[in-house]
Amino acid sequence: MESPFKADIVKGKVALVTGGGSGIGLEISTQFGIHGASIAIMGRRKQVLDAAVSSLRSLGIQAVGFEGDVRKQEDAKRVVESTFQHFGRLDILVNAAAGNFLVSAEDLSPNGFRTVMDIDSVGTFTMCHEALKYLKKGAPGRGSSGGGLILSISATLHYTAAWYQIHVSAAKAAVDATTRNLALEWGTDYDIRVNGIAPGPIGDTPGMSKLAPDEINNNARDYIPLYKLGEKWDIAMAALYLASDAGKYVNGAILVVDGGLWLSRPRHMPKDAVRQLSRAVEKRSRDAPVGVPKSKL
């Protein structure tokens, strides 16, 4: 799809994207690059990283990949420093690395729970912690032009509750809390904006294969207000908005991009049945004998 943004909207900026070798992370890397940014991607699988970097460079994007695990502080430190050494600055950190799988709470081991927490929540904080000195106002390569930006990919699972996603719900709740607290502290102290994006079901991602994509897609009209799954492009456009000057006053926000899914509830009766019921109640109210209280409906 054609971007609604100017081609140079993030020109001159350097973005480090964890989990940037595939899925939403790769799409954000691609769109940031197409719109003028230089890209560093971080991931655990060298083959995936190499393919992603090759894809980005084929589009004329300045891109480099660094192997690393967000759960390891030494990896986070090394990748952040390598990004700065390669490009001379760091403006944007995107935390897109995540772990997810379906499992009932009774079948989920504490180690499985801990693994997702470590990748999503601890990994997010670790990357933010290591990137701070490069993102803050007055940091090397930034001069006094203001602070950088942190974007963390979240979810809406924890807004209510979700079947077989207790580990991910807990992890993303922690990511949102981290986002808001850093927005308060680092926005005040260092002019760094910290925001999140909460995607709904994104149909063109490898991760959807773990979450019963056929059932979700076939029944989308029943529970997604916009009747369709989202696309990686939708999330990347939200990220571009937050990274651009258009979002310069947005701090501590979690931008929900899910077609209204988190608001949705199953209809307990068809719309036509509701209309018929409403008319019947109104008719009874109009026809009620004098002196008999009318329905407030």
Q: What is the CATH number of the domain that holds 246?
A: 3.40.50.720
130 and 194 inside one domain? yes
- In-domain check, residue 63: yes
Residue type at 25? G
Range with the lowest mean pLDDT among 104-108, 258-262, 272-276? 272-276
- In-domain check, residue 98: yes
pLDDT in tens, 58-100: 999 999 999 999 999 999 999 999 999 999 999 999 999 998 8
177 and 193 inside one domain? yes
pLDDT in tens, 112-160: 999 999 999 999 999 999 999 999 988 888 877 689 999 999 999 999 9
252 and 273 inside one domain? no
Mean pLDDT calculated for residue range 263-290: 69
Query: pLDDT band for position 277 (50/70/90)?
Result: low
184 and 221 inside one domain? yes
Query: pLDDT band for position 28 (50/70/90)?
Result: very high
Tell me the C-alpha to C-alpha distance, in Å, between residue 119 and each of 52, 125, 154.
21, 10, 12
Give the list of residues 6+ apart from residue 247 with CB closer than 8 angstroms, or none: 193, 195, 241
Mean pLDDT of the chain: 88
- In-domain check, residue 49: yes
Residue 223: pLDDT over 80: no
Among all chains, which residue has been given the structure tokens 């933010």? 128
106 and 233 inside one domain? yes
- In-domain check, residue 176: yes
Identify the domain containing residue 294 by its residue range.
Answer: 268-297
Residue 280: pLDDT over 90: no
Query: pLDDT band for position 290 (50/70/90)?
Result: low
- In-domain check, residue 5: no
Residue 176: pLDDT over 70: yes
Range with the lowest mean pLDDT among 40-54, 113-127, 217-231? 217-231
Query: Which parts of 40-196 fold into alpha helices (H)?
Result: 46-58, 73-87, 110-117, 123-135, 166-190
CA distance 143 to 146: 8
Residue 21 contacts residue 70 (beta carbons within 8 Å):
no
pLDDT in tens, 63-72: 999 999 999 9
149 and 274 inside one domain? no
- In-domain check, residue 94: yes
Mapping DSSP onto H, E and C, the string for 90-124 reads CCEEEECCCCCCCCCHHHCCHHHHHHHHHHHHHHH
90 and 24 inside one domain? yes
273 and 261 inside one domain? no
- In-domain check, residue 9: no
What total of structural domains would you count in the chain?
Answer: 2
The pTM of this model reads 0.87
- In-domain check, residue 4: no
pLDDT in tens, 192-216: 999 999 998 887 776 666 555 555 5
